[in-house]
Amino acid sequence: MTLETDKLIRLTTISTTTVVTILSLTLLLTYVTLVNLSQTSFAQTTNTNQTSTAVQSQLKTLTFPCKLTESTAQGPEYKTEAPSKQGEDFAKGLQGQRLELSGRVLNLATCKPVQGAVLDLWQTNSSGDYDYKGFNLRGKIVTGKDGKYVLDTIYPARLHLEGNITRPSHIHVMVGVPGQPMITTQVYFEGQPRDFAVKDTLITKPVTDTNGTQKANFDFVVEDYRGFDINKGLTGNPTIGVLGQNSNK
């Protein structure tokens, strides 16, 4: 009787462990499937459908001076209709390690600053939680003539998911010019653990200043074809300018 009981206990333990393992893997696969949204391509952009194929065929012959920012998982935490946070404290007084993320948005074709690029940003607070009821740590910033942006915020805590899944600290960004291809990506910080969404090109190194604020720099490179005239070809185009084959300007 004791032997049968021991067998039953062992089988129950194995079964429970197996179920937990399967559930954890299922949750991870479900998360990856939901969030791994690919970057919007030029051909899929609504305002450029009619000329995208012809433009892309010409662009294939070029060597661009800048490299397009890599896309990665969007995540299920995104909310539409985020308000403008231009020049504001993104954290609105929330407690946490101060962080200033700044940089420029550059044009893939010319490597020059992009005016009017929109950065739609969202992140966790210092406890690893997103604001789903309002728009704390969510908002949009628009670049000026210099292509610069400044995000005055707090350092995002790691995100803890079900099934003992932990994501590294990161800031979500959807960036681009309205009517042009948008890039959905994430900015990560050096010294953090890696997971499926982390890419080397998306990691920046924060430096703590004398006031205790962590400062980090990250430049985004996007596609901007405003003013491009397909009938004029690449050279002499109003937005591309002198860019031609193997141009490094």
Domain 36-232 grouped into CATH 3.20.20.105 = no
The mean of the pLDDT values for the chain is: 78
pTM to 2 decimal places: 0.73
Question: What share of the chain has pLDDT > 90, as a percent?
Answer: 55
For 245, list phi and psi in degrees, rounded to 5: -60, 135
Mean pLDDT lowest among 9-13, 47-51, 189-193, 224-228:
47-51
Q: What is the mean pLDDT of residues 109-138?
A: 95
Residue type, 221: V
Most confident of 67-71, 91-95, 165-169, 225-229: 67-71
Average pLDDT rounded to a whole number, residues 197-216: 95
For residue 53, pLDDT over 50 is answered with yes
- 15 pLDDT more than 60: no
Q: What is the pLDDT of residue 234?
A: 58
Give the pLDDT confidence score for residue 163 in this predicted structure.
Answer: 77
| pLDDT reported for residue 176 | 96
* Across 109-120, average pLDDT: 93
Instruction: Decide if pLDDT at 169 tops 50.
Output: yes
Per the model's pLDDT, the better-predicted residue between 99 and 51 turns out to be: 99
CB atoms within 10 A of CB 194: 12
Q: Residue 237 pLDDT > 80, yes or no?
A: no
How far CA 188 is from CA of 27, 31, 70, 82, 185, in Å, comes to 23, 19, 12, 22, 10
Report whether pLDDT(30) > 90: no
pLDDT band at 182 (very low <50, low <70, confident <90, very high): very high
Can you give the pLDDT at residue 160?
A: 83
| % of residues, the chain, pLDDT over 70 | 67
Q: Three-state DSSP class for 44?
A: helix
Provide the Cα torsion 119, 230, 41, 244; round to 10°.
-80
Residue 22 predicted with pLDDT over 50: no
Residue 83 binned pLDDT confidence (cut-offs 50, 70, 90)? very high
Q: How far is CA 60 from the centre of its chain?
A: 25
Non-local (6+) Cβ contacts of 193 within 8 A are 166, 168
- CB 245, CB 200: distance < 8 Å: no
Label the pairing between strands 148-154 and 203-204: unpaired
